[in-house]
Amino acid sequence: MRILRDPSSSTVEAPARRGGHILVLDSDESLVRTLGAILRHDGYEVLTAVSLYDAIIGLHDQTVDMILSELRADDADGEDTLARARALVPGAVVIVLTRYATFESALRALRAGAYDYLVKPVDVDELRLTVERGLEHARLQRELASHMRELEAAHTQLQGFNSLLQQQVDDATRELRSKVHALDDANAHLRRAQEEHDRFVAMVAHEMRGPLNPIINYAQLAKRPAISREQLEHYTDIIVEHAFRLNRLVDDLQTATRLSTDQFTLHRSECDVAEAVGEVVANFMATVRDRVFTFERPPEAVIAYVDHDRVLQAIRNLIDNAVKYSSEGGAVEASVWRDETRVYMRVRDYGAGIPEAAMAEIFQAFKRLEKRPDVGGTGLGLYITRGIVKEHGGELTVANGSGPERAHGAIFTIALPLHPHPIFETTPAADAN
């Protein structure tokens, strides 16, 4: 096979060096050598082969950017050779070498995956231009592929950023929603607290007016010049009684405030609990004439390491509560006993008792079981009593009495440890009998 023009006679000057690796594969050995020489002269790296086997051997340790391969019109084997050569170098640009420049040959070349084709005998100028365009096409394809990879990487990174941003937005939204809910709850709590505070202030004002009015009225009566000594003593007794009542109210408010702010402290000392409870019962006997009081205790002293004044306050609250919620002429029973580790104090009345559903609520601050005009109080008594017992490491329990009668009453039991630092276990209070 001959070349139409010699390289030295070409009007197109060959560049000194060109980039690109080219495989020339054709069964015509002279054509392969000639094309190889021309392309090497133009500065390309050229691998030549006259069979597919030679091409496979040559491509073992290198790759190429372009393949110049024959496509014979009289034999389908050329297509096979071309397809297998392309399989060896998937990214290479293929230029077909064919004997006849016909539409059918061009169509066959394109179907075989070729970029372009050259007709034998090969024109040198056309060879150079076709090779140059093909390698430029390959370069542009590589750049396009590289840009596509960069775009895909950027797209992937952008998706990651978007996902991260969306996650951050979702997290911030959830956190904000949670804070809004928390703020709503806090506002609702504040509203309830404000309403409770308003009710409390109104209740305290009402409760203080109760003892203050008699004090003022009887103090004015005591100033009259014509009253007898007996009347003066009677008025004075009433003033003192209501002054003590006012003092207890102030003391309850102060105690409740200290309990709610964790500023409540005890002053423990050895105390005969039975004697202390007996004093409280005796005071009620002397001042409350329309109840029947009974008190049971062991003959010996019941010594415990407790805050004497606070124990008196707790028992006084329970007995006062029993007086308020029992009927006129009813019995109020108090008892004291002990076991190996604890001292027990029980107060029972024979009123209407406490509904089971309300037993957990009666120890809340400002909670009153019944709002009756004839029953005064701030609703702090049981709250304070439970706080005092808890600070002692003890237990306060409540139950209704048993029996067929309607007025079976309520039973409150205090259990306090005998010693200041016991290992206290919550168990049912021991039987007083």
Residue type, 203: M
State whether 280 and 194 are in the same domain: no
CATH of the domain at 211: 1.10.287.130
Q: Is residue 32 a part of any domain in this protein?
A: yes
State whether 231 and 116 are in the same domain: no
State whether 283 and 405 are in the same domain: yes
Q: Is residue 127 a part of any domain in this protein?
A: no
The pLDDT value recorded for residue 77 is 47
Domain count, the chain: 3
The pLDDT value recorded for residue 139 is 86
Q: Is residue 162 a part of any domain in this protein?
A: no
State whether 219 and 295 are in the same domain: no
Structure tokens at 247: 């003092």
β 331-338/303-306 pair status = unpaired
The pLDDT value recorded for residue 359 is 73
Q: Are 26 and 97 in contact (CB under 8 A)?
A: yes
Domain edge (last residue) among 75, 103, 122? 122
CATH of the domain at 14: 3.40.50.2300
The pLDDT value recorded for residue 378 is 61
State whether 111 and 218 are in the same domain: no
Cα→Cα distances 342→265, 268, 270, 422, Å: 21, 15, 14, 9
Residue type, 46: V
pLDDT single digits (tens) 348-365? 988 877 777 777 777 776
Q: Is residue 35 a part of any domain in this protein?
A: yes
Range of the domain at 219: 187-259
pLDDT single digits (tens) 132-152? 998 888 888 888 888 999 999
The pLDDT value recorded for residue 278 is 93
State whether 315 and 399 are in the same domain: yes
The pLDDT value recorded for residue 4 is 38
The pLDDT value recorded for residue 326 is 82
State whether 247 and 273 are in the same domain: no
Q: Is residue 137 a part of any domain in this protein?
A: no
DSSP code of 7? G
State whether 230 and 274 are in the same domain: no
Mean pLDDT by 10 residues, the chain (433 residues): 39 54 91 93 91 83 86 53 73 82 66 80 91 88 88 90 91 92 90 74 69 85 85 86 79 74 84 93 88 93 92 91 84 93 93 76 66 56 87 90 66 90 44 42
The pLDDT value recorded for residue 262 is 76
Tell the residue number behind the tokens 């030679």, with chain if given: 54
The pLDDT value recorded for residue 120 is 85
State whether 282 and 402 are in the same domain: yes
State whether 254 and 316 are in the same domain: no
Tell the residue number behind the tokens 């100033």, with chain if given: 223
The pLDDT value recorded for residue 103 is 65
Q: Model-level pTM?
A: 0.49
Q: Is residue 168 a part of any domain in this protein?
A: no
State whether 255 and 294 are in the same domain: no
Q: Are 86 and 151 in contact (CB under 8 A)?
A: no
The pLDDT value recorded for residue 2 is 37
Structure tokens at 327: 């009927």
CATH of the domain at 320: 3.30.565.10
State whether 222 and 286 are in the same domain: no
Structure tokens at 50: 């006259």
* Distance (Å, whole) CA 200 – CA 203: 5
Q: Is residue 193 a part of any domain in this protein?
A: yes
